[in-house]
Chain A
Amino acid sequence: MNKILGSITLFYHKLGSYPWFYSISSKLLPISTFLAFMIFLLGIVWGIFYSPSDVTQGEIYRIIYMHVPAASVAQSIYFSLAIAGFVYLVWKMKMAGLFIKAMAPIGASFTILALVSGAIWGQPTWGTWWVWDARLTSTLVLLLFYLAIIGLYSSFDNKKTADQAVSILAMVGAVNLPIIKKSVDWWNTLHQPSSIRIFEESTISSEMLYPLLICILSFYLMVFVFGLMAMRTEIAKREMTKDWFKKMVKKND
């Protein structure tokens, strides 16, 4: 038990080091990029070309293979920002502040994808691009939180103050996450309840569910890749005058 705790503590301390992270991420990037791309290709080709048509919606339902993974990662990224905010405020881990700065634009882009793909799907199925129902509105609020984090960070010259401010905002915004999740149960919404359930049987056919799960997995892998890349760029911005970074650049890392 002590050994496990010791290795976790060691990993935590290593994670706080910019040179260690920059070096390990350059080793992780090629394999994770390849994996993410191949799994995405498998899921999207299976979902769009080989899964059966929906009885009521026809072919238009295939938007699900992009809409649901995008919405899922958008919420998960925000959850990770809230955890990073907590870590930064409690333990002053500088990597946590950098994580929030790097991941917020990625989260915002996936929220935009979820909102726009939902609107495009809603037009032929609901007869409208947008309704102010609980699920759609709370997801819009999620996007506003992402934009607020991006805006707030850039409004400070001092990086430490900026990290502190966005950490607080990231934690405050986490209140919105259970609202998004439960909005379809708590209120009468035009948006359908979730089809994938963990503790009960899913309401979606397994022929449609498997490619959807693969697409969701691939989106998470892609977020991992994008996150590594964005954090490397942010480290480069902050450490470009340091010797270790100059050495890395000389080695073409």
Chain B
Amino acid sequence: MIELFSENFHLLSVCFLTIIILLFNYIWPLIKLNKIKKNLKKIETT
């Protein structure tokens, strides 16, 4: 595995980019939704 990636920097960089884009698409809406819910709870309690 290490050999495959160390000899193929191009492949490694595409793998990283794919993981970053997938994680971004998963985490970003979660953060935004939780922020909205938190704000709503704050407003409800005050």
> Which partner residue on chain B sits nearest A230 by CB separation?
B29
- B-facing mask of A207-232, CB < 8 A → 1, else 0? 00000000000000010011001101
A124 to B13, CA, bound (A): 13
Query: Which of B4, B22, B37 has most chain A Cβ within 10 Å?
Result: B22
* Contact (Cβ within 8 A) B15 A229: no
Query: In whole angstroms, how far apart are the Cα atoms of A246 and B40 in the complex?
Result: 8
B interface vs A, CB < 8 Å?
Answer: 1, 4, 7-8, 10-11, 13-15, 17-18, 21-22, 24-26, 29-30, 32-33, 36-37, 39-41, 44
Task: List chain B residues, Cβ under 8 A from A123.
Answer: 10
Stretch from A113-121, A157-165, A170-178, A190-198 contacting the other chain: A113-121
Binding site for B on A (CB under 8 A): 40, 48-49, 59-60, 62-63, 66-67, 70, 106, 109-110, 112-113, 116-117, 120-121, 123-124, 222, 225-226, 229-230, 232-233, 236-237, 240, 245-246, 249
State the CA gap A7–B7 with chains docked (Å): 56
Q: Are B40 and A59 in contact (CB under 8 A)?
A: no
A-B contact count (CB 8 A): 78
**Distance to closest chain B CB from A216 (angstroms):** 13
Chain A residue nearest to B7 (CB atoms) is A59
Instruction: Check B4–A49 contact: CB distance below 8 A.
Output: yes
A120 to B4, CA, bound (A): 16
Find A67's partner among B8, B14, B29, B37 (CB 8 Å cutoff): B14
